[in-house]
Structure 1
Amino acid sequence: MTYTLIVNDTFLNQLLALPRGIGNQVQTKLKHLQEDPISAGGDAKKLKGENQRLYRVRVSDYRLIYTFKSKWVNCLAIGHRRDIYRKLHIPDSEVPEEDIDVIRLAEPPGLLNEEVLRNCFIPEEYWEQLLAIKSEDKLLYLDIPEKIIQKVLDILYPPSWETLEQKPEKLLTNPDDLTSFFQGEITPFLLRLDKEQKRICRYRLGSPVLMKGGPGTGKTIIAVYRVQKLLENGCQSILFTAHSSALITYSSKLLEQLLGTEPESKGITVNTVGSLIYSYFLGRMGAPSIPSQEKFLHDLKKAFNDVKGNKLGDFGDFEWKGLIEIIFDRGFSDLLREIQEVIESCGLRTEAEYLKFNTSERINRREKPIIWAVYQRFKEILKQQGLATQEHYKFEALKLAQHDEHIQRYDALIIDEAQDICPVSLDFILCMIRNRRKILLTADSSQSIYKRGFDWSQVHNSLKGSLLSLDNNFRNTKEIAAACRTILQGEDIYQPCKRKGEIPKIYFSDTEADEDQKIAKFFKDSARNYRIPLTGAAIICPNIAIAHKYEERMNHTGLKAKYVEGCNININSPYIKIITMDASKGLEFAFVAVVGLKEGIFPESNSDNLKQLKRLFFVACSRAMYNLGVFADYSHPSRLINNLEKPYWDRERGN
């Protein structure tokens, strides 16, 4: 029987740091482990004491620590025998006797040297900073790329062996693949999926599959692996799309890593839904004329006043006046959202369709005829100027695509996070597939941060696909997941989590300076406790204007932070990422500070779309993998945190 080798990033980074002659011996030893993990050619030994499942195998003066089960050998770590046990928090009482004397007599090794940095392919521009490092804290705060810091952390300060067992696992199908790895070539070690994920990747490749899953359940990674399976199944062209540009950027990089080449070279198109529709419309009708938001509101107000003065036939004077006041008090921004995100985005063509549509709870049935009349007048005013809304142009693109024999069509289609795609856009994308069989659609209605009209039952009835659910949360700790569930009380969004961590905390501040210091301390403490560089952190803000303010404020604290747009985000960039809540969709960060929780800011004054804002807040908080902090105003805290209490949330005393 041949065992399958599993490795983790820490093990791979430690491999690079080995003297090259030892690295070659490791390849031979790994082949022995594949054949016989109990003996490994006579060089393996089980550790003593409580850790009965831990083994070590000799590689000259180095020791490879591993565990194994019926089919797998899990390579946890490798290092010199004088310090590898202590680095992994393995007590001396459990170390084999032949290594104990070496541990006791050994002098403390130096931290880093040029040979290690060269073997790890670390650019020389960072050597001076790294060679001067004397402690783990100093390393965590260096202004160099996160991948380099993480590599050095794995070499000098690896986590305990128990933590390594919980790290994402990668498959090493052939130890000879390490030859190119030692030479600095990019070697694709594929993530090991669990049984549920593997099943879904292969499930009914020739049929529509609708996959439900909460945050952190691995929807995107499964979608990416599904692409590989479709290619193996003979698909020549695949469209991978989503609403979020940040998610598309992230997915494109995952695909490139998985396939070992750019997705386009394999016939895969990776693009946002909006870009696909715009490019199609541009090629058929030319550039659409879309005015500013201010222009929309100006013309909508004119349309409203025109309708206001012409009472519809079946309304009494008193009722008409009351309904007009209700719509006016709600505001023209809200009315514009109803037109764009409900009427036009859902493709409602007649007043009867709008009356039947299950719209916002805030709008009653008697208001709808008035809103429809305002909408008709609004369209007339825009048309007279040669203008229209973006949603109107999407609908026009759909009507063209439905009868276009020359539209580009793909063999297979994958739509990720479909709950953020409106029905009109979804119908357009479905026009781009040759048939409706090879489709994977992933979604989570609990994360829908836009009023898009997404309805699982409607999608299911349209595609007649198999409906699958993902149950396990691989992103968050149990504590973060439980805290996030309290934001959306009353919704069934539970997914079991394996990792444990700290209870998320809500911090309160009266001044910007006080809050800045608390955010800086939160990040530094998190980096120290979890041994993850600060560049793995994110500050998530309600909007772009607030994000720019935090960029300036954070840099005054000495922390390097930068605002990034969703389409330009690079997770490995050497700074704390500052992003908006909208752009955070589909991303994950080691530590997350959610800011701007002040009444009048988030939510804005007189905001009546609290349900949507709660979902946005939920999305932001659920980006955190290890530690979550929410930062609120002391005097005017946001109403969104009113019910976030113990045992799921900690609060600073006095609040």
Structure 2
Amino acid sequence: MATLAIDKDFLLDFAKLEQSVQTRVHEVFGKFDTATHTGLHLEKIKNARNPQFRSIRITQFWRGIVLAPQTGDTYTLLKVLPHDDAYVWAERRNVSVNQATGGIEVRDDAALDEHLAHLDRQAPDNSGAHLFAHVKDSDLVRLGLDDKAVRFARLLTDDSQLDAAQPYFPSTQWQVLYGLAAGMTPDEVWADLGAEILDGPVDTADLDAAIRRSSHRVLLVDGPDELMAVFANPFALWRIYLHPAQQAVVDASFRGPARVTGGPGTGKTVVALHRARRLAERDDGKVLVTTFTSTLAESLEDGILMLVDDPAVEARIVVEHVDRIAHRVFREEHGSPHLITNADEKKLWRSIIDDLGIDFTETFLGEEWRQVVLAQRVSDAAGYLAAKRTGRGRRLGASQKAMVWQAIWEFEHALITRTVHTHETVRREATRILEQLTDKPYRHIVVDEAQDLSPDQWRLLRASVPEGPDDLFLAGDTHQRIYNNHVSLRDVGINVTGRSRRLTINYRTSAEILRWSLELMHGARFDDMNDRLDTIAGCRSDVHGDAPTVEGFGTRDVEFASLSEKVQGWIDSGIEPSEIGVAVRSRKLGDAVAAALTKHRIPSTFLADSRGKTEGVAIGTMHRMKGLEFRCLAVAAVSSKQLPAPYAVASADEDEHTHARDLQRERCLLFVACTRAREQLLVTWHGEPSPFLTPLL
């Protein structure tokens, strides 16, 4: 019986096809098993680079390109293109097997030949040092480069030549050269390939076996029902399939807490979801999947429902954001807490400052309480005098520390006297309750967006699961930290040393958008939550597209009118309104964008009001965009008066260190927003641009 496989590149193309063509693809491949048995429409292609290429008729104008098996019964759908383009594609492309990974590779052989000829012609006149002169041929071959790729590597003299080759070069082989060009040693590149490397020799002539090994690139479809599900939502469904480097992390057994890091779009959340399923399959204990906000928790729950099809496994997975856990534990013991507002908290700090006559601000004292006292579980004056204040900026002498501790004691005493709580004191009490339990509520905990959890939230999670193998699994990236939480995992009882994996391939954003967004972070320093500096150097995308468009305007009205015209242009080009997003710094700006779109008769929905369902263009604050993605995205009003937002940045006179951290958090917020774009990114401002943009203009 014939089996259909689908190349991931076609899944990316499918959503761009006209609806009528999509419908015919449904019909043709829904009957594919019958078609292959009768020989219907499958035809050999004259002048095809690979003799196994076949064409299949979609309509009179459209053709599909299929890789037929050499001996088995698995046919792989590679492309659907207009008639003439399909045959040109087959004449220029080839399929090969990587000799290190054993995986399938689709390559533009004609373009590679043309580029090699060009490099050959340049070689006699080129006196520059060759890019890979320091790497032995034997290392290139060991890392999976074939003869043609080795020859290509030997002719390169500049990084730009390698970048230009990415669209047509075999992707895994290009990643090897990219790593070597970035300064990695052959052994480091070998380690980076990780689980992709096969033990023993690879039969590079056996395409059928290569397809079966290529679950990261090729999706095997079991029957017409599954095929229809794939075509109905190709982007969402593809996100639950794993690259071998991701699969290795999912399947691993760790002796204790472990984590996965990586830049935006590298699949950390997908790995976390698969990890939760794998842990729930291994034993009968409860698996908690958690993060720092309710909206992200809802997204994780949707992912679990998409991924898990066994009711027994699904019943063992609980998805709940961390503060909800704290409040539930607190409520079961004490009833519902009475929470004070941020404004009331500031008033309380101000009254204490006035009563004590001390020279500190509400912001400084509030941060000192959170970042030092709560983070280190300080309970008395002696403990505070001995506490580490690394990174707090303002130095305090012994007498000043005594005054600060007095203010903090007065603050906590006032909370107790008034029988009120903050979220922090609710978490602290819930942690105390959980620490006393011998029977913990969870056997495993999986944490997404780990960089945004506070020290007391980490202590709560540590107290919720017994210490042991695979107890905690963390996924995060400190370059995407958008809340004022900094933590040393060791200080909260979580040791991931030697159990940390890093992902480098971006699956969401085009190389052009990623490169531009990474420049926003140039020169910034980030901790790795494990007492070292973090990096996203080497983060890369194999997908190419348009460079971001960056435009300034004189007034907000002119900016938003131009934005509306751009959005209409996207819609006119065939992009669904729901695949378009607009990110802004505040709700007020979002309302203004919505009014501008309405004036142009473009439907829109504000994400904060949508409850997960959007109709029309999605408008959201930069915070609300976290965890989402759009084919086309506009980041609007990136002006000097809006970003950094004045209300979100402490004065340098108040607290120099908090001021610097606030600025970095605002920069991260812009970075997160821009990396939500898959294919097209538009960044606009009115008046003066944000200082974060100035170096890129």
Q: Which residue matches 1:473? A: 506
Q: Which residue matches 1:85? A: 83
Amino acid aligned to 1:564? L
Amino acid aligned to 1:390? H
Q: Which residue matches 1:518? A: 562
Whether 1:580 aligns to 2:580 is no
Name the stretch that deviates more: 297-306 or 550-559. Answer: 550-559
Shift of 1:423: 1.8
Q: Which residue matches 2:450? A: 418
Q: Which residue matches 1:489? A: 522
Q: Which residue matches 2:223? A: 175
**1:306 and 1:564 mapped to 2: Cα distance?**
44
Amino acid aligned to 1:445? T
**1:615 and 1:184 mapped to 2: Cα distance?**
34
Whether 1:639 aligns to 2:691 is yes
Equivalent residues in 2 for 1:350-429, closer than 5 Å:
350=380, 352=383, 356-366=387-397, 369-405=402-438, 409-429=441-461
Q: Which residue matches 1:336? A: 366
Amino acid aligned to 1:48? N
**2:674 and 2:376 mapped to 1: Cα distance?**
29
Whether 1:547 aligns to 2:590 is yes
Name the stretch that deviates more: 229-238 or 260-269. Answer: 260-269
Q: Which residue matches 1:17? A: 23
Q: Which residue matches 1:314? A: none
Name the stretch that deviates more: 189-198 or 421-430. Answer: 189-198
Q: CA offsets per residue over residues 335-355 of structure 1, 9 Å max, x none?
A: 434434553355444554576
Whether 1:569 aligns to 2:602 is no
Q: 1:258 aligns with which of 307, 316, 319?
A: 307
Contact 1:67–1:73 (8 Å) recurs in 2 = yes
**2:668 and 2:54 mapped to 1: Cα distance?**
46
Q: Which residue matches 1:45? A: 44
Contact 1:505–1:628 (8 Å) recurs in 2 = yes
Amino acid aligned to 1:433? V
Amino acid aligned to 2:419? G
Count of aligned residue pairs for this structure pair:
542
- What secondary structure sits across from 1:597 in the alignment? coil
**Cα–Cα, structure 1 residues 180 and 193, in superposed 2: closer, same or farther, change >3 Å?**
closer
**1:65 and 1:241 mapped to 2: Cα distance?**
43
- What secondary structure sits across from 1:565 in the alignment? helix
Q: 1:597 aligns with which of 616, 638, 642?
A: 638
**Cα–Cα, structure 1 residues 207 and 637, in superposed 2: closer, same or farther, change >3 Å?**
same
Equivalent residues in 2 for 1:210-221, closer than 5 Å:
210-221=259-270
Q: Which residue matches 2:464? A: 432
**1:93 and 1:296 mapped to 2: Cα distance?**
67
**Cα–Cα, structure 1 residues 471 and 94, in superposed 2: closer, same or farther, change >3 Å?**
closer
Q: Which residue matches 2:180? A: none
Shift of 1:555: 1.9
Shift of 1:224: 1.2
Q: TM-score if structure 1 supplies the norm length?
A: 0.72
- What secondary structure sits across from 1:643 in the alignment? helix
Once the two structures are aligned, what percentage of the paired residues are identical? 19
Highest relative contact order (Cα 8 Å, sep 6+), 1 or 2? 1
Amino acid aligned to 2:418? Q
Amino acid aligned to 1:638? S
Q: CA offsets per residue over residues 508-555 of structure 1, 9 Å max, x none?
A: 2222321112212333344556x5323212122223333333333332
Shift of 1:256: 1.1
Shift of 1:412: 2.1
Shift of 1:294: 1.8
**1:364 and 1:590 mapped to 2: Cα distance?**
48
Name the stretch that deviates more: 344-353 or 578-587. Answer: 344-353
- What secondary structure sits across from 1:462 in the alignment? coil
Q: Which residue matches 1:196? A: 245
- What secondary structure sits across from 1:302 in the alignment? helix
Contact 2:257–2:495 (8 Å) recurs in 1 = no
**2:592 and 2:583 mapped to 1: Cα distance?**
12
**1:474 and 1:347 mapped to 2: Cα distance?**
40
- What secondary structure sits across from 2:483 in the alignment? coil
Aligned-residue Cα RMSD (Å) equals: 4.1
Amino acid aligned to 1:599? S
Q: Which residue matches 2:478? A: 445
**1:30 and 1:358 mapped to 2: Cα distance?**
70
Contact 2:289–2:317 (8 Å) recurs in 1 = yes
Q: Which residue matches 1:5? A: 5
Q: TM-score if structure 2 supplies the norm length?
A: 0.68
Q: Which residue matches 1:65? A: 65
**2:598 and 2:377 mapped to 1: Cα distance?**
46
Q: Which residue matches 1:509? A: 553
**Cα–Cα, structure 1 residues 446 and 565, in superposed 2: closer, same or farther, change >3 Å?**
same
Gaps of 5+ in 2: 93-166, 172-214, 526-534, 651-658
Q: Which residue matches 1:141? A: none
Whether 1:500 aligns to 2:544 is yes
